[in-house]
Structure 1
Amino acid sequence: MPAGTARPGRVALPPLTEGPHRRRLGLVALIATFGGLLFGYDTGVINGALRPMAAELGLTPFTEGVATSSLVFAAAIGAMIGGRLSDGWGRRKTIIALAVLFFVGTLAVVVAPSLAVLVLGRILLGLAVGGASTVVPVFLAELAPYEIRGSLAGRNELMIVVGQLAAFVVNAIIGNTLGHLDGVWRIMFAISAIPAIVLFFGMLRMPESPRWLVQRGNVAEARAVLATVRSAERAEAELEELAALAEAESHQRVLGWRAVLTNKNLVRILLIGIGVGIAQQLTGINSIMYFGQTVLIESGFDESAALIANIAPGIIAVIGAIIALAMMDRLDRRKTFIIGFTLTTLSHLLIGLASMLLPVGSAARPWVILLLVVVFVGSMQTFLNVAVWVYLSEIFPLHMRGFGMGISVFMLWVTNGFLSLYFLSLVDTVGITGTFFLFAVVGAIALLFMWRWVPETRGRTLESLEEDVTTGAIYTQR
């Protein structure tokens, strides 16, 4: 429904306007998404740091997997803890605490004298990454006007891929200029301390989520926050809507798992959130982001060339994220998901066929596979990655948002962790051909899930979505 029109039984919202409040909203989003930048850098840096790190610390293939996946499994725990903490502490304070955790984890990895200390540092970083993956999108979604919620909340995913691209570029530069030095991988990791410092000091000056404030009864503070990021008329109208919702929920507590499991509509939306998160990871996107250098070496590049060629997927990921943000508030979420899984599944099939039909040693083989990997990453980033994080941040009712987001992202990270742990073993067992054919089968199943069960959320306020989820009306709409 267009801005400025009344919704039955709800407060009419004046249209969005330009002015200092829009610039302030953009600044808040920029600072908060440094959490996404750290997410991307800390998950992507292992791509180029793993080989020199393994050589210095004497890691075996198994302990390489442990060093890589320890962050990912810890991120699953961080996602759950972060969601619950943000419900109690507030979104802003939780993000500040995560900035400290990012910095401490980075220090532990940089000075690690052994595998044990390295894994400890990676676990701390994983807790921070998982927390940021849950809290930052919710913070942005709750602060954004519903008309631009997709593009504003989606900025976090853009910053994630910018962080990954930064990691690939830093790895290539440092690896090819300082690769002869002992401990070069420590320099790669140390760079991430800079955005952690920016996030910490930046968030000290940022506001709290007005929706969270109203839920806690701080209406005056919520009014003050909205006045800085909305026009005066729009701020009052949104506050009235938030206050009405808070009044309706005044006798409800933030829901835990027992309360959710007794409501079939909440169980259904939770299962949909979990399914969307797992489906995103089963595309294998993070296997490319973590082990892209290894995949390119397997396809025929030498080690130095693979390190440089690995930048190409990072560049296309950023381009795809920019395109995704531009169309996020114009294209329905369901349509976006269906297009995305169609393209990624076709990419998997083509990668498998290229690996099977082009013989090892062929001059064309590495370049064809690199091109198809770039197409896959571009499709993923344009139609799935941004959309998934935006979708998860908006589908859950306020009283279970932290819990629902936490559980969904927990399962997303667990799936990511198992793929990280076993991806190289899978490639060793069935080769690139079998691995990507398997991804194609899973992608076809995910496509069916998106078409059959995922409801639409675009163009709706979080409050109207909450009503329809709670009553079950959202499942009958297409």
Structure 2
Amino acid sequence: MDRVVRRKTFFVALVVSIGGFLFGFDAGIISGVISYVTPEFGLNDAQTGWAVSSPSFAAMFSMLFAGRLSDMLGRKKILLVVAFLYALSALLSAYASSYEMLYITRMIGGVAFGAALVLAPTYIAEISNAENRGKLVSMQQLNIVLGFFAAFLCNNILNGLNGPGSLYLNDQTVWRWMLGVELFPALLYLILMFFVPRSPRWLYQKNFKEEAKAVLISLHGIEKAEAEEESIERNIEAQSKNKEVSIMTLLKPSLRFVLVVGLILGVIQQVTGINAVYFYATSIFKQTGIGTDAAFTSGVLLSFTTVVFTVLALFLIDRLGRRPLLLSGLVGIGISMLLCAYAFNNATYELKTETSGNLNMLDQDKLFQVSNIKFENDVDFKNAMKSTFGIREFTKNEGAIMEAATTMNPNLVLIGILGFIACFAFSLGPVMWVMLSEMYPNKYRGLVIGVIGFVNSLASWLVQQFFPWELSNLGNAMSFFIFGVLAIIGFAVLYRILPETKGKSLEELEKELIRE
């Protein structure tokens, strides 16, 4: 019986966390899509940034309201809407006929993943108990990275099939297939969501006690369900004496500590560069001079590394605890970003006559004008290329040009990026969402996570929007140096204030962290 119960809980958590898979897929797929839509629509740095970041901009507001709506209507109802919006966004974006249609349809997906990122860990925490909550909530992050892996693999396959010999794929259609593939997992998510129960803690809050008890028994068995039920009812009784929740109540002194911790976690998770790396992975690898095809292949390796270390986090988070994983991960993130900065800082760029001949897709007279000129940094080199060939022509052939001109050690960048991804995958990735699902009282959880999710998504949007500008104006070395320094600052701050939440029920954590 216990094994059947555990399987039921695992199945429910797995289904709900498919929303994370779709977020990861959408985030990973755009790194390949942008290589084609930027020259096709003639996008500048700001437009490229907006095409990538517009879903995160929409997600900011979705996160802000999703938790509150789910408190009123229920987690399951909102997640069903999320699944439908994912499917709609995938279908419409694949048929985008203009830059404007592309970012608008991607913003529909942003509304979906913003809500999913807030509600999935909240729901999973509410169906879990203290012994398995860390593992089950971390399934959200595991699904996110599996989505990344599937997207990079899909990008690599479709990019390989694209060519003169293909009947269906060319530079104008391959990115549509990349975007459209997301429709299939989105429809699966929509169907499976009908088979999950409503949150038992939400049901108790709405006085559906019989249904709530039945859900707890189906998830945990009779003995553990009774203990969970008693704990929930005591908590609800205590909270019933409090006033109605509003945004202003989050400023009360008793919530100040956990709110500050959550906000710092939300900002640090993004400003250390995770979505710059994920969303622009193909572009970053092109900067090392390994070529377009190798850049797509490196994206697969990157996403596979993410999966491996997220699985590791799944096993360690309830054993070692949240605090040691997060702090050690931040140290690794800082070192990895600084290694990338070092590698790019020592790079030089020169189109030599003997290698320039391979760039036969470019105007040879213009190519001759910029050959045999050595550049000490990527900003000056790319500005010279854009000035000579035009932004659109350079963007279309950037991989080939960088491959011909760059002299550096690309292995250092690869090691740095993979190290960064590995450290993020066992720390900031899963630990932040686990801790957000644990630190706040049931009554405030939806609202608080929505507010922190808004700040998290705002930081994510800023990084995505301005990363193309950073590369063009500050250069690769300075961009990665900034990420490394921010990781070190994040470690110093969180070392002083981060609590440990493993092995305690949500109600126990409330007594410990909330100072009424």
Cα shift readout 1:321-367 (whole Å, capped 9, x = no counterpart): 00000101011212212101111111112111222235456766122
Contact 1:52 1:183 in 2 (8 A): no
Cα shift readout 1:136-182 (whole Å, capped 9, x = no counterpart): 01111111111111011000100001001111110110111035523
Contact 1:269 1:469 in 2 (8 A): yes
SS in 2 for 1:112: coil
**Aligned residue in 1 for 2:289:** 300
Counterpart pick for 2:426 among 382, 389, 393: 382
Contact 2:46 2:468 in 1 (8 A): no
**Aligned residue in 1 for 2:175:** 185
Tell me, yes or no, if structure 1 residue 135 matches structure 2 residue 119: yes
Displacement of 1:54 in angstroms is 2.5
**Aligned residue in 2 for 1:266:** 255
Q: Runs of 4+ in structure 1 displaced over 6 angstroms?
A: none
**Aligned residue in 1 for 2:242:** 252
| TM-score, scaled relative to structure 2 | 0.85
Counterpart pick for 2:97 among 113, 116, 134: 113
CA distance in 1, matches of 2:142, 2:514: 31
CA distance in 2, matches of 1:22, 1:111: 42
Structure-to-structure mapping, 1:282-431, within 5 angstroms: 282-360=271-349, 365-431=409-475
CA distance in 2, matches of 1:228, 1:137: 20
CA distance in 2, matches of 1:362, 1:122: 34
CA distance in 1, matches of 2:417, 2:103: 30
Contact 1:74 1:130 in 2 (8 A): yes
Cα shift readout 1:382-427 (whole Å, capped 9, x = no counterpart): 2221111111111111111011101111111100101101112112
Letter in 1 for 2:99: L
**Aligned residue in 2 for 1:224:** 214
Displacement of 1:55 in angstroms is 3.2
Contact 2:45 2:469 in 1 (8 A): no
Contact 1:253 1:399 in 2 (8 A): no
CA distance in 2, matches of 1:316, 1:105: 28
Letter in 1 for 2:263: I
SS in 1 for 2:502: coil
**Aligned residue in 2 for 1:3:** none
Contact 1:150 1:328 in 2 (8 A): yes
SS in 2 for 1:310: helix
**Aligned residue in 2 for 1:151:** 135
Letter in 2 for 1:469: L
Displacement of 1:236 in angstroms is 1.3
CA distance in 1, matches of 2:224, 2:273: 42
CA distance in 1, matches of 2:113, 2:183: 14
SS in 1 for 2:241: coil
Structure-to-structure mapping, 1:39-50, within 5 angstroms: 39-50=23-34
Contact 1:138 1:393 in 2 (8 A): yes
**Aligned residue in 1 for 2:223:** 233
SS in 2 for 1:162: helix
**Aligned residue in 2 for 1:276:** 265
Contact 1:53 1:183 in 2 (8 A): no
Q: Which moved more, 1:121-130 or 1:426-435?
A: 426-435
Q: Cα RMSD over matched residues? A: 1.5
Displacement of 1:97 in angstroms is 0.9
Tell me, yes or no, if structure 1 residue 52 matches structure 2 residue 36: yes
Letter in 2 for 1:229: L
Question: Structure 1 vs Structure 2: percent identity of aligned residues?
Answer: 32
Contact 1:70 1:123 in 2 (8 A): yes
CA distance in 2, matches of 1:265, 1:315: 42
**Aligned residue in 2 for 1:13:** none
CA distance in 1, matches of 2:345, 2:102: 38
Displacement of 1:199 in angstroms is 1.3
SS in 1 for 2:102: helix
Quick one: structure 1 residues 55 and 364, their matched pair in 2 at CA, closer, same or farther if it must change by over 3 Å? closer
Contact 1:397 1:469 in 2 (8 A): no
Unaligned runs of 5+ in 1: 1-16, 473-478
CA distance in 1, matches of 2:442, 2:273: 31
Quick one: structure 1 residues 358 and 119, their matched pair in 2 at CA, closer, same or farther if it must change by over 3 Å? closer
Counterpart pick for 2:85 among 93, 101, 104: 101
Quick one: structure 1 residues 196 and 362, their matched pair in 2 at CA, closer, same or farther if it must change by over 3 Å? closer
Quick one: structure 1 residues 100 and 254, their matched pair in 2 at CA, closer, same or farther if it must change by over 3 Å? farther
Letter in 2 for 1:346: I
Letter in 1 for 2:180: A
Displacement of 1:19 in angstroms is 2.0
CA distance in 2, matches of 1:135, 1:362: 45
CA distance in 2, matches of 1:341, 1:116: 37
Q: Which moved more, 1:377-386 or 1:176-185?
A: 176-185
Displacement of 1:250 in angstroms is 2.0
CA distance in 1, matches of 2:514, 2:174: 53
Contact 1:108 1:120 in 2 (8 A): no
CA distance in 2, matches of 1:334, 1:367: 31
Cα shift readout 1:12-43 (whole Å, capped 9, x = no counterpart): xxxxx832111111110111111111110111
CA distance in 1, matches of 2:280, 2:416: 16
Unaligned runs of 5+ in 2: 164-168, 350-404
CA distance in 2, matches of 1:117, 1:362: 36
SS in 1 for 2:62: helix
| TM-score, scaled relative to structure 1 | 0.92
Counterpart pick for 1:169 among 153, 159, 172: 153
Q: Which moved more, 1:363-372 or 1:27-36?
A: 363-372
CA distance in 2, matches of 1:64, 1:357: 27
